Amino acid sequence: MRVRTRPIEGQKPGTSGLRKKTKVFMSESYLENFVQSVFDATGGAEGRTYVLGGDGRCFNDRAVQVILKMAAANGARAVIVGQGGLLSTPAASHLIRLNRADGGIILSASHNPGGLEGDFGIKFNTASGGPASEALTEAIFARTKTIEAYLIADEPDVEIDRIGRQQIGGMEISVVDPVADYAVLMEGLFDFPKIRAMFAGGFRMRFDAMCAVTGPYAREILENRLGAAPGTVVNGTPLPDFGGMHPDPNPTWAHDLMDRMFADDAPDFGAASDGDGDRNMVVGSGIYVAPSDSLAVLVANAHLAPGYRAGLKGVARSMPTSAAADRVAAALGIAAHETPTGWKFFGNLLDAGRVTLCGEESFGAGSDHVREKDGLWAVLLWLNILAERRESVKEIMESHWRRFGRNYYSRHDYEALPAEVAAGVMDGLRARLAGLPGCVVEGMTIASADDFAYADPVDGSVSRGQGLRVVFADGSRLVLRLSGTGTEGATIRLYLERYVAGPGGLDAEVQEALAPVIRAAETLAGIRTQTGRAGPDVVT
Ligand code: G16
């Protein structure tokens, strides 16, 4: 059936797909226009195979039905869909690769809250399993501006709760267990018997799935296959509104986990994941591990896991992520790449075999096993390292800092600002950049200042305007950029970093250690004065 439609404004994908309020996605033709634009901008769905699933948030089930019927009407050959319409983002990436599918449609607004009043999102991943490139998302966006009609099959709903094969029109639908193939992949990368022995020896863990998609994955892998005590996984049932939780695994939103990990009887290891299972937060008993540090520790110790025993080809991190991983890469004699924010920028490096591990300050880490960041993968690699080293998280962090020095790091978020105010802050600093080198602020000399541009070493494409950075002579730095994942107003992210070589000064309180850089940021960018905010909304 061909349905006439008209372009809808603002269907521009951000850092990771199109994210809007759930009610916006539920409005007439909104989802349909975008999905048809994806098909049109990728050469049509005729004869193609797709993977489809989402994080189970409100509207996930309806959207799955619409997309299945649209794929059928557009002539797709087959769609592989997770039972109940569920797939974590890394599991979807794996299924695309495993089945040599032509692409995948993932329904998620990731760490943004869900529910009718929350957010919904959709992203398209290509045959590599990774997020669409900037050029492709631009093409999809361009198509949304000219679309006149979409195709949808006039068929009854598909039984997405029943595993097995079904047909609509000429299209085959395979409803698969969302966990099974992913769990097999993890078993191949990590030393499950060793981790199982650690749990059998009394090792205690708490995994907070935040009522989002990782619950079933974590239960199957941690409790069923690795023998973690029943109840290790909490908030393990995916709910359409995430039980009212904000599934963003950071110390602010995963405060319950933080409280327990800092209590007297804390478990040995704690972790949390986000809406779609690609992010992770790692906490030891009495110690929080910043994502940039986590990446550095994973790079330094990955060889302890069977999947990485041969060593790493290279490592990549997003520009605002601290340089802690670069120091490890230098010691290992492997390349360290610096990319813009967004997992899509790692894709070419991974495909070209230039890097094995990637990570971001925004609680993302992953490897070449899929083309997305992978929350549970990071947790399992940590578990493998803990099982091999037989040290606590705290001991591992302290010895890491003694060896490599410590990159004190924090991110300050100023959320839901009026767009023009946020733009004013950015424009103000951008205009001053050229004149900053040589200036002294808070006793620190500015060594360089620029608006980060990335030239992809594989395909030569250049991405500009990826964040304002001011680097001081001692290696400290501040970075300012606007979030590309929010749905309300604008969010300024201020990233702060200061390196201390040691041996002294390695155990300072993070915000205190960063105090001169925080003051320098206010002097240079005037975020508080211009926004009228007393301080950041979220500090990670
Ligand atoms: C998405 C991307 C990440 C990126 C993050 C940054 O995360 O997949 O690669 O680091 O956005 O978001 P922002 O632009 O708001 O700083 P996710 O987990 O939301 O898909």
Q: How far is the CA of 179 from the centre of ligand 1 (A)?
A: 24
The CB of 540 under 6 Å from ligand 1? The reply is no
Ligand 1 nearest-atom number relative to CA 361: 10
Ligand 1 centroid vs 110 CA: distance in angstroms? 8
Q: Report the C-alpha gap between 129 and 98 in whole angstroms.
A: 9
Q: How far apart are CA 64 and CA 54, in angstroms?
A: 8
According to CATH, where is 3.30.310.50 located in the chain?
406-539
CA distance 275 to 330: 34
Q: From the alpha carbon of 341, which atom of ligand 1 is closest? A: 10
- Find out whether the beta carbon of 361 lies less than 6 Å from any atom of ligand 1: no
Question: Bridge-partner residues for 314, per DSSP?
Answer: 335
Give the Cβ contact number of residue 44 at 10 Å: 12
Is ligand 1 within 6 A of the CB of residue 364? yes
Axis-axis angle for helices 419-432, 515-525 (nearest 10): 100
Q: For the chain, how long is the longest CA-to-CA vector?
A: 70
The class of domain 2-177 in CATH terms is alpha beta
Query: Domain 182-404 classified CATH 1.20.140.70?
Result: no
The minimum-distance atom of ligand 1 relative to the CA of 276 is 18
Residue nearest to atom 19 of ligand 1 (CA): 110
CB-count burial class (<10 Å; 0-12, 13-18, 19+) for 519: middle
pLDDT of residue 149: 98
Q: Residue 255: how many CB atoms within 10 A of its CB?
A: 10
CATH number of 406-539: 3.30.310.50
Specify the ligand 1 atom closest to the Cα of 493: 16
Q: Which atom of ligand 1 is nearest to the CA of 89?
A: 20
Whether 484 is in the pocket of ligand 1, judged by its Cβ within 6 Å, is yes
Q: Residue 305 in contact with residue 277, Cβ under 8 Å?
A: no
341 Cβ neighbours under 8 A, 6+ residues apart: 15, 318, 319, 320, 360, 362, 466, 467, 481, 484
Closest residue to atom 16 of ligand 1, CA basis: 483
* Residue among 485, 491, 493 to mutate when testing ligand 1 (max atoms within 8 A of CB): 485
- Of ligand 1's listed atoms, the one at least distance from the Cα of 318 is 10
CA of 276 to the centre of ligand 1 (A): 12
Q: Ligand 1 pocket, 110 CB below 6 A?
A: yes
Q: What's the gap in Å between 411 CA and the centre of ligand 1?
A: 14
Strand pairing class (164-168; 171-176) = antiparallel
Residue whose token pair is 């001011």: 470
478's tokens: 């501040």
Q: ∠94-156-38 over CA atoms, to 5°? A: 45
Which of the following is catalytic: 37, 110, 133, 410?
Answer: 110
Is 110 designated active site? yes
Residue listed under structure tokens 């992520």: 321
CA of 360 to the centre of ligand 1 (A): 9
- The residues, any chain, with a CB within 8 Å of residue 393's CB and separated by 6 or more, are 268, 269, 282, 283, 284, 285, 287, 289, 382, 386
Q: Is the pTM of this model over 0.85?
A: yes
* Residue entry with tokens 């990590």: 190
Count of CB atoms situated within 10 Å of the CB of 189: 17
Range(s) within the chain of domains with CATH label 3.40.120.10: 2-177, 182-404
β-pairing verdict for 462-463 and 454-455 = antiparallel
d(CA 313, ligand 1 centre) in Å: 24
User: Which atom, in ligand 1's list, is nearest to the CA of 112?
Assistant: 19
Q: What is the pLDDT of residue 16?
A: 84
Q: How far is the CA of 362 from the centre of ligand 1 (A)?
A: 7
What's phi and psi for 424, nearest 5 deg? Answer: -60, -45
Q: What is the pLDDT of residue 539?
A: 92
Ligand 1 contact, 16 CB (< 6 A): yes
Task: Give the residue whose CA is nearest to atom 1 of ligand 1.
Answer: 16
Distance 15 CA to ligand 1 centre (A): 6
Structure-block tokens of residue 36: 């048809």
Q: Is the CB of 292 under 6 A from ligand 1?
A: no
Q: Which long-range contacts (CB under 8 A, 24 or more apart) does 197-205 make?
A: 197/387, 198/383, 198/386, 198/387, 199/226, 199/227, 199/228, 199/229, 200/227, 203/268, 203/269, 203/386, 204/229, 204/232, 204/267, 204/268, 204/269, 205/232, 205/267, 205/268, 205/269, 205/270, 205/271, 205/383
> Mapped to the 3 state alphabet, what secondary structure does 230-273 carry?
CCCEECCCCCCCHHHCCCCCCCCCCHHHHHHHCCCCCCCEEEEE
CB of residue 108 inside a 6 A radius of ligand 1: no
Element (H, E) at 377: helix 375-389
User: Mean pLDDT by 10-residue block, N- to C-terminus, for the chain (540 residues)?
Assistant: 97 91 97 98 98 98 98 98 98 98 97 94 96 93 98 96 95 98 98 98 97 97 98 96 92 94 97 96 97 98 98 98 97 97 94 97 97 98 98 98 97 95 96 96 96 95 95 94 87 97 94 96 95 93
Q: Ligand 1 atom 7: the closest Cα is on which residue? A: 16
Q: How far is residue 467's CA from residue 430's CA, in Å, rounded to a whole number?
A: 9
